[in-house]
Structure formats: C-alpha cells, structure tokens
Amino acid sequence: MDDARASGRVETDDGRVTRFVEKDAAHQGPAWVNGGCYAFAPALWAWLPHGPSSLERDTLPRLARAGELVAHRLDGGFWDIGTPQDRERAERRFAE
C-alpha cells in the first residue's frame, strides 16, 4: 500500500511475520499491510489476554515476536472498510 499510516503494517521474512504494527501515523512511505483475513488454530486461545483486548494491538504482535505468525502476500486491490464511509464506498463498488 502506498500510504500505510491508517493500516496495520506487516514486516515479513520468508513468509513469517517479524513485526506487526497497528496504525502507525508516523510511518512514512509504502508498506505491506494487514488485510484482516485470519485463520487460527484452536491454540490461539492460549495467546489471548484475559479481559478486553485487541487482536491487532495485543495478540498479533505477541505472536509475531514469538515467531508464530505467518503471512501470505497478495498483490492487487485493497478495499479499506475501517470507517462507515469506506464501507459504504466498498458496498457501492461491489454492487455494480
């Protein structure tokens, strides 16, 4: 993505996520971003903190630091639906 400031940034080494940074407004330039599609084994429950938490801010960075998170890179379009306006724009586009 050309401007990754509003997205979760993903850094990888041979398919393994080495760093996961959620919405870093200070980041400059392009980056690979988290597309928000996940597949987890049941063992994920052991990584989740007790009480309220954020998958992107708490669990995914921990999994990356432990070497337990992998990524699959896809080239192509990305439709952000993180705001109501973005979601409406995507819904109109895909209804065509």
Q: Tokens 């509003």 sit at which residue?
A: 6
Q: Is pTM beyond 0.75 here?
A: no
**How would residue 30 be classed by pLDDT, with cut points 50, 70 and 90?**
confident
Q: Domain segments of the chain: what residues? A: 9-95
> What digits encode the pLDDT tens for the residues 48-79?
888 998 888 888 888 899 999 898 888 777 77
The beta strands (E) that lie in 1-96 are given as 9-13, 16-21
Tell me whether residue 53 is one of the annotated catalytic residues: no
Among candidate residues 23, 27, 62, 89, the one labeled active-site is: 23
**β-pairing, 16-21 with 9-13?**
antiparallel
Q: How many CA atoms lie within 13 A of 95 on its CB side?
A: 6
Mean pLDDT score, 9-34: 83
What pLDDT, on a 0 to 100 scale, did the predictor assign at position 88? Answer: 94
